[in-house]
């Protein structure tokens, strides 16, 4: 649409595009139980959003955290994230299936997973800046022979926009934040061009493991010039250095696959060791906010790829798109820095529109 290329319209378009084409995590599945995630495109507009195991976050546009925010709290669990008020239960050694609602093919890059121990009081009140994350899973460049290569993100898309991560069997029982992340590298050839999409969940890990691995503060995970952050993927690559610390001993990135949903579960509150409450049988999932996981229920259990086609309805999203795309990048910086940030956000929005084939 060449005649409509005013900046305003462009960023509005890009905002709409990012709602349609970017993604967020819809739910996680543990041993057949589906726990709803925090939906950043819907929950902020609800009077009383449900208590879930996913941390709240301010990425109402399904947007990203840029490298110039790597030292800020936003990199930990996404923009303005606050503690989830509930948690899911998982045994060490078990798998967590993380279901995104969609992911754009152009947004190639690594998929990473971390844990951080919250201490005995649980993760619902922990100070996120005090969390020390250790890495339990990473998949970067799978095949770089033909630019822009095949990446963890491509594996995620091929796996029904979902990711399977194993909680290491040697981890001591306790309350942990699971930090899952995709880093999109389509614009990473220039500084501040990478895009981090982190998302956090509260887990109670049970079992008889004994390890308490050392970790890294979220604000210290990456720098803007890490070789895996500032990298041009539009050339054949023989190797890629996945950013962040090394995997802990005992962790391994497992083969991808699906996790059939047998019931939906409500996040557990408080610090008691409780069996997860199964609120609904599979057949009854379709009530209220679980509409999207109902789609997941029928499709995932029959092992067909198809959740994303019906899931991203997210009707409330367009409310935010036009305004948030430009204004929501780096927040809280006064004057010139703010204007610079707005310009950067507009550039990013234009890049997105281009990437997504809108212009």
> For binding to Cu ion (CB under 5 A), which residues are involved?
352
Give the pairing of strands 162-166 and 25-30.
unpaired
3-state secondary structure at position 117: strand
| Nearer residue to Cu ion within complex by CB, 19 or 205 | 19
* Spatial distance between the Cα atoms of 61 and 14, rounded to a whole number of angstroms: 10
Q: How far apart are the first and last CA of the chain?
A: 7
Nearest distance, CB of residue 8 and Cu ion, angstroms? 19
Measured from the CB atom, the residue of 156 and 251 that comes closer to Cu ion is 156
> Minimal distance in Å, beta carbon 344 to Cu ion?
14
Cβ-based nearer residue to Cu ion, 76 or 345: 345
Taking each helix axis from N to C end, the angle separating 318-327 and 7-21, rounded to the nearest 10 degrees, works out to 120
Burial zone of 358 (CB within 10 Å; 0-12 exposed, 13-18 middle, 19+ buried): middle
Q: Closer to Cu ion by CB, 85 or 352: give it.
A: 352
Q: How far is CA 196 from CA 106, 112, 227, 331, in A?
A: 14, 11, 15, 16
- Residue with smaller CB distance to Cu ion, 79 or 352: 352
What's the CA angle centered on 74, arms 291 and 166, to 5 degrees? 60
CB of 144 to Cu ion, least distance (A): 21
Nearer to Cu ion, 86 or 109 (CB): 109
Cβ 121 to Cu ion, closest distance in Å? 37
Residue least distant from Cu ion (Cβ) = 352
> How near is the Cβ of 225 to Cu ion at its closest, in Å?
21
Q: Strands 195-206 and 88-91: what pairing?
A: parallel
Q: What is the dihedral of CA 84, 127, 192, 148, to 10 degrees?
A: -50
Beta carbon of residue 243, minimum distance to Cu ion (angstroms, whole number): 18
């Amino acid at each position: 649409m060449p005649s409509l290329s005013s900046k305003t319209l462009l960023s509005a378009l890009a905002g709409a595009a990012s709602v349609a084409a970017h993604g967020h995590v819809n739910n996680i599945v543990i041993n057949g139980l589906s726990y709803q995630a925090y939906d950043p495109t819907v929950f902020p507009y609800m009077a009383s959003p449900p208590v879930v195991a996913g941390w709240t976050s301010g990425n109402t546009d399904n947007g990203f955290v840029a490298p110039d925010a790597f030292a800020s709290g936003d990199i930990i669990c996404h923009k303005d994230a606050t503690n989830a008020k509930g948690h899911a239960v998982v045994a060490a050694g078990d798998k967590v299936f993380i279901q995104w609602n969609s992911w754009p093919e152009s947004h190639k890059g690594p998929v990473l997973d971390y844990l951080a121990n919250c201490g005995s009081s649980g993760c619902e009140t922990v100070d996120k800046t005090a969390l020390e994350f250790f890495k339990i899973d990473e998949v970067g460049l799978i095949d770089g022979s033909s630019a822009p290569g095949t990446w963890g993100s491509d594996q995620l898309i091929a796996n029904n926009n979902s990711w399977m991560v194993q909680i290491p069997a040697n981890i001591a029982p306790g309350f942990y934040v699971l930090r899952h992340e995709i880093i999109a590298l389509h614009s990473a050839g220039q500084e501040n061009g990478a895009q981090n999409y982190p998302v956090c969940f509260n887990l109670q890990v049970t079992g008889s493991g004994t390890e308490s691995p050392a970790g890294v503060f979220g604000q210290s995970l990456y720098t803007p010039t890490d070789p895996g952050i500032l990298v041009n993927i539009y050339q054949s690559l023989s190797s890629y250095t996945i950013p962040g610390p090394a995997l802990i001993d005992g962790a391994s990135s497992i083969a991808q696959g699906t996790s059939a949903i047998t019931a939906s579960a409500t996040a557990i509150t408080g610090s008691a060791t409780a069996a997860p409450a199964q609120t609904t049988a599979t057949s009854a999932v379709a009530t209220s906010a679980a509409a999207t996981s109902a789609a997941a229920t029928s499709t995932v259990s029959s092992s067909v790829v198809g959740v994303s086609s019906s899931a991203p309805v997210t009707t409330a999203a367009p409310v935010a798109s036009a305004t948030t795309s430009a204004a929501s990048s780096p927040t809280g910086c006064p004057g010139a820095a703010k204007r610079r940030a707005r310009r950067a956000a507009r550039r990013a929005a234009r890049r997105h529109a281009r990437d997504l084939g809108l212009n």
